Amino acid sequence: MALTPSPRQPLAAEAMDKLRAMVQSGEWPLNHRIPAEPELTELLGISRGTLREAIKALAHSGILEVRRGDGTYVRATSEISGAARRMYLDYSEQHILEVRLGIDTQAARLAATRATPEDIEALRTLLRHRDESWQNGDVESYAAADWGFHERVAQASGNPLLHELYASFGAEFHRDLLQQIHRPGFAGLSPEGHGLLVDAIERGDAESAVQTVNHNLASCAAWLAG
């Protein structure tokens, strides 16, 4: 995997492409720390200076986050989601929820016409994992499974751009759900609403899928405002 200089592309840019590919392939998951400098320089066959230049560029784009004394973490899967993640800091929960409403409903509508049997099975597996995590008191796994469910619906839409835009909500979605979990009176998200959404997608019923999303997000908005 060692890199070689190219007259068409600087070595640091080539290193950026390799690092970005590792993120986008899922080899380095979101919110996880990437390998340390010595391992990466050996893996890519580049100098520490070249590696740092590539990481700095990816951090500037929002894909990576460098934490002094702790390492470098994956914060987004692309420049689009990285820019969106930074932009969301300037907007309120209500603004983000209103935009999510549009993306969620379109994802559900398209998923009802394009989802594969593998998508349906993956969605039901994520819901089972979410419910088991809640029963076991593992709120982090619970939140991760719930987000994974919604992102998989977006993936099942068959529109890669919609999926990428939706994925950019990951950090905010996770943060908001954890805030809900720790509020007094929270008893877990309704399992029926999410199950009904999968049922509608499996039937190919786009209208019912959209209605379920509208109901779920309206309940979420009401809880956050309460």
Q: What is the pLDDT of residues 135-173, one digit of tens each?
A: 898 888 888 888 899 999 999 999 998 988 887 776 666
Average pLDDT over residues 23-36: 87
Residues forming beta bridges with residue 73, ordered by sequence position: 33, 65
Is 202 inside any structural domain?
Answer: yes
- Give the Cα-Cα-Cα angle 177, 84, 124 (nearest 5 degrees): 45
Is 171 inside any structural domain?
Answer: yes
Please state the φ and ψ torsions of residue 67, each to the nearest 5 degrees.
-110, 115
Which tokens sit at 24?
Answer: 């986008």
- Give me the CATH number covering residue 97: 1.20.120.530
- Give me the CATH number covering residue 33: 1.10.10.10
Specify the number of domains making up the chain: 2
Is 3 inside any structural domain?
Answer: no
Domain residue limits at 18: 11-77
Q: Rounded to 10 degrees, what is the CA torsion of 58, 61, 66, 71?
A: -40
Please indicate, yes or no, whether residues 160 and 100 belong to a single structural domain of this protein.
Answer: yes
Please indicate, yes or no, whether residues 54 and 90 belong to a single structural domain of this protein.
Answer: no
Last residue of a domain, one of 77, 96, 119: 77
Q: Rounded to two decimals, what is the model's pTM?
A: 0.68
